[in-house]
Amino acid sequence: MKIDTLITVLGWEDRFLKGTAIILKKYDIASMILISFTDYLSMNNMKENKSKIEKKATELNIEIKYIKLTYADSVNNWKTLGAFFEKNEIGNDILINTTTFPRETIWTLLFFLKSSVNKVNYIYFKPGKYSDDWLTKNHKNPRLLFKHSGIFNLDQKLVLFIITGYDPNRMNSIIEYYEPDKIIIFNQNGKQFNNKIRNNIVNIDNSLDFEKVEINNYDVEIATMEIRNKIIEYSDYNIIIASQGPKLSALSTYKNFLMSDSRIALAYVPVRDFNSEYSSGFNPNYIKGILEL
């Protein structure tokens, strides 16, 4: 399959380099956009991974265009991505490697891409395992994505949709910050990565009104419709959605933003520290699909 532009984020995890190798072998890629976050370039393997990707791209005659972002500066990131896509032609066939993308960056990217293409291809690689220790820490205040803060009616209650992951403190921080009237917890189904235990360590005040829903975030189309059904059910509420599960959940949440005529809000909890051993190993059975914009 011919791809005009592959968009990927430089990562330190095993699955970044091995996943990229599979992509370069599977697809006929003309150019690559390599996004790097300057405040995390000191993480293990980052320089080595960058050199290996550049060497392989040269061998395959793939042009690389670079975008440098700063994870801690969302305002500048928005401006930088906007300026890049205003000035650069990327073609019609786009492939996003979502594996190591921050969710906020996925949403920002999709916002700018939808002005020039009506669909994107995506691919995602699971790790062999996640760290048994912490994944992220030192969380910052939650924030709504620029131009994606929803339409709020002061006469309506607030419902918070949270697609959960393995960072319970991150989840609790968004609950405390927005103080919703109702919480819908979307738990990833399945037994992978000790999921039944790690994805159910939820410290929610019993006084809060919450509901749990099992969801398969690895199937973007099904997850999109399951979230959509809940949006319809709570159409008389103001709705904020936070994606903290598998990176593919960022696609199903964004699709629902588009399907809801921008009425819902997209929220994100930034962090200061990522574990250098966030994940290890690699699952070659990738997930791919097409997202209509």
Is the pTM of the predicted complex or chain greater than 0.95?
Answer: no
Query: Count of CB atoms within 10 A of residue 64's CB?
Result: 14
CA atoms of 29 and 25, how far apart (whole Å): 9
Q: Determine the pLDDT at residue 167.
A: 74
Beta strands in the chain (DSSP E): 2-9, 28-37, 63-69, 94-97, 119-124, 129-130, 136-139, 143-149, 158-163, 182-188, 210-215, 238-243, 265-268, 271-274, 279-280, 287-292
Residue 149 contacts residue 180 (beta carbons within 8 Å)? no
pLDDT tens-digit map of 156-176: 999 999 998 767 777 788 998
Report residue 73's pLDDT band, with 50, 70 and 90 as the boundaries.
Answer: very high
The one-letter amino acid code at 242 reads: A
Report residue 138's pLDDT band, with 50, 70 and 90 as the boundaries.
Answer: low
Q: Determine the pLDDT at residue 248.
A: 95
- For the segment 28-56, the average pLDDT, to the nearest whole number, is 93
What's the whole-number average pLDDT of the chain?
89
Residue 143 contacts residue 149 (beta carbons within 8 Å)? no
Report residue 206's pLDDT band, with 50, 70 and 90 as the boundaries.
Answer: low
Position 193 pLDDT exceeds 90 = no
| Domains in the chain: ranges and CATH | 2-129+278-292 (3.40.50.11700), 136-274 (3.40.50)
Q: Which residue has the tokens 């956009």?
A: 33
pLDDT tens-digit map of 94-107: 999 999 999 999 99
Q: Which residue has the tokens 């006929």?
A: 28
- For the segment 182-206, the average pLDDT, to the nearest whole number, is 65
The rounded percent of the chain whose pLDDT value lies above 70 is 89
Contact partners, residue 90, CB within 8 Å, separation at least 6: 4, 5, 31, 33, 113, 116, 117
Q: How much is the CA Rg of the chain, to the nearest whole Å? A: 19
Q: Which residue has the tokens 């095993």?
A: 14
Query: Count of CB atoms within 10 A of residue 208's CB?
Result: 13
CA atoms of 33 and 5, how far apart (whole Å): 7
- For the segment 18-38, the average pLDDT, to the nearest whole number, is 96
Position 263 pLDDT exceeds 90 = yes
- Least confident window among 62-66, 228-232, 259-263: 259-263
Position 203 pLDDT exceeds 60 = no
Q: What distances in angstroms separate CA 124 from CA 50, 121, 186, 223, 282, one per listed residue?
A: 19, 11, 20, 15, 11
Q: Determine the pLDDT at residue 200.
A: 58
pLDDT tens-digit map of 75-97: 999 999 999 999 999 999 999 99
User: What is the 3 state secondary structure string of 217-237?
Assistant: CCCHHHHHHHHHHHHHHCCCC
- For the segment 264-276, the average pLDDT, to the nearest whole number, is 82
> What totals of helices (H) and strands (E) does the chain contain, helices first?
8, 16
Position 13 pLDDT exceeds 90 = no
Contact partners, residue 86, CB within 8 Å, separation at least 6: none
The one-letter amino acid code at 159 reads: V
Q: Determine the pLDDT at residue 244.
A: 84
Query: Count of CB atoms within 10 A of residue 272's CB?
Result: 12
- For the segment 247-259, the average pLDDT, to the nearest whole number, is 96
CA atoms of 98 and 209, how far apart (whole Å): 33
Which runs of consecutive H residues, i.e. helices, occur in 60-161?
Answer: 74-87, 103-113
Which residue, among 101, 124, 120, 82, has the nearest Cα to 34 in the 3D structure?
101
CA atoms of 91 and 116, how far apart (whole Å): 9
Position 121 pLDDT exceeds 60 = yes
- For the segment 204-228, the average pLDDT, to the nearest whole number, is 87
